[in-house]
Structure 1
Amino acid sequence: MDEKPAKFMVCKRIPVKANLREASEEELWKLHDSASKEFHTLLAKVREGKVDVKLMPEASPSLLELKAELSKRMLEHCCFCEHRCGVNRMAGERGRCRLDYRTYVASWFHHWGEEAPLLGRGGSGTIFFNSCNFRCVFCQNYDISQEWSPQWSRASQVDARKLAKIEAALRLDGAANINFVGGDPTPNLHTILESLLYLEENVPLLWNSNMYCSIETMKLLADIIDIW
């Protein structure tokens, strides 16, 4: 499992020639599509054993930074999922997921209840996000997906740096992967992508979602998620 780099580590090595803050969202998407092609070329060489990513310097700005910036732009007219609320969550508006720009985590631990191939020797490093863009009455995690509030004792607000520390701690303690679940991880795309900029541990990423993601979200995730 540790023989090859996780995809997000490869993304960090793909350079993007642009001022990410000044470029328009349309320009950023064009850059993204071009850089994504470079990513897949490099990934193929890595998988064939022709390139050692560890010997490559991290780019700045990188494809991963571009993805993080795009997610923040999307948050201003939220289209993370196919509800496409269009609200400005960056300005404090709340979408169908009942979240603004803030991210809340209910718990994180080594999960031994996942499928056997995901457990490795240290279990799946599972991070349970609060809230969801669905309202399933049969949800097994109803208490954290729907019946919760930011004031709830099991809702810890996290920013990207804190989330990265959680991810790193799970990995260093033996987790076979980082498992983003909930609730649902999709409404927290911006925080997750930015957290990977600070994560230095090589670890496979698992997207454990209802998969009601938008095409735009899937484009951002496709180059970083190792397990679906």
Structure 2
Amino acid sequence: MKLKRKNQLVLFDIDGTILIYKKYFSKKVFISIIKKVFQKDILTSQLPGFAGMTDLQILKDIAVIIDIPENELNDLIPESWKILLTEFQKISNPDCIELLPGISELIGLLHNDEYTHLGLLTGNFKDNAYLKLSVFDLDKYFPFGAFGCESDNRNLLPELAILRANNYIDGKQFSAANSVIIGDSPKDIECAKSNIIPVIAVATGLYSEKQLADYSPDAVFTNFSDFEKVYNTIISF
């Protein structure tokens, strides 16, 4: 007799996992808002690495670099989100963003599986996360998540995503034990491991398959072009 599968929560990162901006557009946007919000100049070479960081963490790190006190930063954060969204709206189109191989098919398979439920675990602030996904009509597949405006520590986001999943499904069906995190950076892997959640890494961001493997994810792929294999790996946890 075949055992019934358990419900499963699949939490996706966005940048480098689902899609990627061309020509370093994201860093150019942050340079622009630093000028507009903080009236400061910063060079691209001075910016912290963005991979796996939350947007709040990026803002805090930049504030240290340009000598903005924490209390002043806190006052300016709401305006920062507003201007960041306006700037990203200008470059959030298929000419500026690339949808990564196999991701649309993979999301479709998971969405159509009655036992898997999709959510976001992303460094993007919420409005920007859904803006990026909407370019490829993928926002509709992710009704909840945890976002980069909610903590400067990515490792705190899974608990929030799981809480929202349970509220959305109207029950306590999900925990770390039946969740999976999917991302493209060492920080995604570290986030999952700190919460004892299985993690699948994909080398479509800034890190190679070998570099990601050094952090011991539960599985690692060059890309998701073999989306059926990736799907079967996800539901095996």
Normalising by structure 2, we get a TM-score of 0.30
Instruction: Name the one with the larger helix percent.
Output: 2
Higher relative contact order (CA 8 A, sep 6+): 2
Normalising by structure 1, we get a TM-score of 0.31
